[in-house]
Amino acid sequence: MALTFEVAGGGPLRGRLRVPGDKSISHRSIMLGAVAEGVSEVSGFLEGEDTLATLRAFQSMGVSIERPGVGCVAIHGVGLHGLQPPKEPLDLGNSGTSMRLMAGLLAGQAFDTVLVGDASLSTRPMRRVIDPLIRMGAVIDATATGTAPLRVRGGQTLCAIDYHLPVASAQVKSAVLLAGLYAHGRTIVTEPAATRDHTERMLAGFGYTVERERARVGITGGGRLRATCVDVPADLSSAAFFLVGATITPGSDLLLEHVGINPTRTGVLNILDAMGADIQVMSERTIGGEPVADLRVRYAPLHGIAIPPQWVPLAIDEFPAIFVAAACAEGETTLTGAAELRVKESDRIQVMADGLRTLGVAATPTTDGMVIRGGAMGDGEVDSHGDHRIAMAFAMAALRTQGGVRILDCANVNTSFPCFAVLASGVGLSITER
């Protein structure tokens, strides 16, 4: 269904809020809880369309999952070999995380499965996951261009591999490790740069031995997962929009509560800090193996920077918001080494550049990044192309305009941030859904 955001100019953002639970951790809690032994209880679960697609997929494979309250899930695990053949293809909607990780998990099952998605997901590259899984002995059919639908053929004997990721990708790493649960021998993945490590942390939390040494992570197949309790922190990727919105709007003073600050995810904090943002990390603690903190952010004038390449994989999902910060900064911001942004839910480099230029910002897309010269931002209408993160980024950009911004095609915001407009309104964003 069509949804348009109309966001008025001005601000500030003030108060406190807790954004929804981390999407990456929510996905993995369902996947690992389903193949663990016993009942796993999850609190803070993100009830977005992407994570609910994962939940429904495992229900279709015979896993009993209860939802006793908002953000609470009880997963009755069936063990590594207890999943049942689904009667229909598993529809994963818009969720690339679901499709890529589940391809690894399902490669070791005794039955065939078909993974499908919406129009956007059906254009996203899956060969990067399929190729290493085939090296392990999996049989996975895709389209001629390497996209969904994927047919994962069961009954295969998987063998461990020592895999060097050609491009830093947490999803590919996770798919190989999940297949490694079913493989003979020791599966090792080596990363060219650090990526989010939620899979490794959660495997250990479910009692599985994980070997980690610098850029290498390994597991040995044939073990067991034991049910556990998972407390999902607030999603830093969702918090990033408010970090940027408060940073760029004079008079803002906002407290974001219980935010996950896993060091493999904090590139956005590094980048904003280097640009001059005023973000205070408070009450640091560890919850369920994940570092958590409260983040206080106040308005601060920003300056452009050349974004260090080592921070790119640590902030890959937050660049739509970072581009807005760069548009409000004095001077020039340059990004390179982020070609991955072109194959997300949209081509985030081109779509963000088009939208920023519509609002009067000098934004030049490159093959693997962008050059943005900050300046005044005007009113206008932009098209998010159905990309949830682009829609929310331009909602924050409206704070720096006089008359506001109209943002088209925003329904997919519900994939990662249900009730975004309600929560944003509560801290001062004048936003209307049409």
Residues marked as catalytic: 317
Give, for 371, the enclosing helix (H) or strand (E): strand 369-373
279 and 214 inside one domain: no
252 and 167 inside one domain: no
40 and 189 inside one domain: yes
pLDDT at residue 218, as a whole number: 98
49 vs 41: CA distance, rounded Å: 20
61 and 108 inside one domain: yes
Q: Establish if 225 belongs to a structural domain.
A: no
The closest of 186, 198, 190, 255 to 222, measured between CA atoms, is 186
Q: Establish if 121 belongs to a structural domain.
A: yes
414 and 330 inside one domain: yes
163 vs 398: CA distance, rounded Å: 44
15 and 27 inside one domain: no
- Number of structural domains, the chain? 2
206 and 239 inside one domain: no
Q: 293-322 burial by CB neighbour count: b if 16+ within 10 A, else e?
A: bbbbbbbbebebbebeeebbbbbbbbbbbb
Q: Establish if 308 belongs to a structural domain.
A: yes
Order the strands of the 278-287 sheet from edge to edge.
14-17, 253-260, 290-298, 278-287
Q: Establish if 140 belongs to a structural domain.
A: yes
251 and 145 inside one domain: no
The closest of 156, 144, 92, 100 to 120, measured between CA atoms, is 92
Q: Which of 177, 196, 219 is the last residue of a domain?
A: 219
292 and 346 inside one domain: yes
Q: Establish if 224 belongs to a structural domain.
A: no
Tokens coding 286:
């560890």
Q: Which of 166, 189, 219 is the last residue of a domain?
A: 219
Q: Establish if 227 belongs to a structural domain.
A: no
34 and 172 inside one domain: yes
Q: Establish if 148 belongs to a structural domain.
A: yes
Query: How far does Cα 108 stand from its chain's mean position?
Result: 25
pLDDT at residue 131, as a whole number: 98
185 and 85 inside one domain: yes
* Residuewise pLDDT in 10s, the chain (434 residues): 789 999 999 889 999 999 999 999 999 999 999 999 999 999 999 999 999 999 999 999 999 999 999 999 999 999 999 999 999 999 999 999 999 999 999 999 999 999 999 999 999 999 999 999 999 999 999 999 999 999 999 999 999 999 999 999 999 999 999 999 999 999 999 999 999 999 999 999 999 999 999 999 999 999 999 999 999 999 999 999 999 999 999 999 999 999 999 999 999 999 999 999 999 999 999 998 899 999 999 999 999 999 999 999 999 999 999 999 999 999 999 999 999 999 999 999 999 999 999 999 999 999 999 999 999 999 999 999 999 999 999 999 999 999 999 999 999 999 999 999 999 999 999 999 99
Q: Establish if 226 belongs to a structural domain.
A: no
Give, for 291, the enclosing helix (H) or strand (E): strand 290-298
pLDDT at residue 40, as a whole number: 98
| Domain span at 253 | 5-21+234-433
**Residue 302: which CATH number?**
3.65.10.10
pLDDT at residue 289, as a whole number: 85
304 vs 48: CA distance, rounded Å: 34
233 vs 16: CA distance, rounded Å: 16
40 and 142 inside one domain: yes
The closest of 403, 415, 412 to 383, measured between CA atoms, is 412
Q: Which of 219, 248, 263 is the last residue of a domain?
A: 219
126 vs 226: CA distance, rounded Å: 30
The dihedrals phi and psi of 93, each to the nearest 5 degrees, come to 60, -120
